[in-house]
Amino acid sequence: MIQELQELRGLEPEKEFFIGFDSDGSVFDSMEIKQQECFCPAFIDIYNLQGVAKIAREVWNFVNLYSKSRGINRFQAVLRATDLLRSRRELAERRVVCPDTDGLRDWIEREPKLSESSLSLEVHRNSHPHLKQALNWSRDVSTAIKKIARNIPPYPIVSDILDKASDRADLMVVSQTPGADLEREWTEYDIAKYVRLIAGQERGTKSEQLRFASVGKYDKSKILMIGDAPGDLAAAQVNGVLFYPIIPGAEERSWELFRNEGLPRFFAGEFSGNFCSSLLADFDAALPEDLPW
């Protein structure tokens, strides 16, 4: 990880502005297919939840798509989902045992880089059954994504936005998706050429990626993070930089507003204030916190 962080620290500004782009759910309409067709089926399979598949799917989708935990790291999502499953009476009624993930929890609490590769290294040192189970699940997810999550282009006007933004800003992908998947997706649709660097989960958290690549190198009023999840907003806030939300369910409208108003305001130094506050209010309202069951 030290080498990866050094590469982020070594990025020198070439433009006056900096924009970080989340990928899944923001640039690409890929959240639904990845979570519902790749992550969730593997979760049901590896964690033996076939007897409560409908319940498990409801919980998984709430955690990863339709609540304020949307976009969290894949291993944190397993913990959140299993914690919520324990509160569902249907498991006891159907005599389905809720998965025990305490070993995974312990690893997450001490590991700064929550990636499949770092978990694989940990399993070599510590063959705890919860860690092996999580690694098997993650590998199944990665395999399914390569097979199923394809032919997914960026949102229609994103290429035009990247082209326009790159004239005045250094652009970077800030993501918790595995780097190899990001490289494949951004290269496939010929948009990797617009960004200085593609950072995936191997390069640390989103807040770390944003901090090491931009903070202290640009005026904070000239640093912008774009994303579709509360974790993207948190990464911007912890670094004291601006945030533009791609609102779940209104992604194309969000991008049109960014092209027509958000980007010009950002370059003109007029992004903060009522414009930003209104966007954040809409973003907050789009993702509930209360459990729907």
pLDDT value at residue 1: 52
DSSP 37: I
> HEC states along 162-186?
HHHHCCCEEEEEECCCCHHHHHHHH
**7 with 59: CB under 8 angstroms?**
no
**60 with 85: CB under 8 angstroms?**
no
pTM over 0.85: yes
Q: Which residues of the chain have pLDDT under 50?
A: none
pLDDT value at residue 131: 98
Domains of the chain: 2-29+153-286 (3.40.50.1000), 31-148 (no CATH)
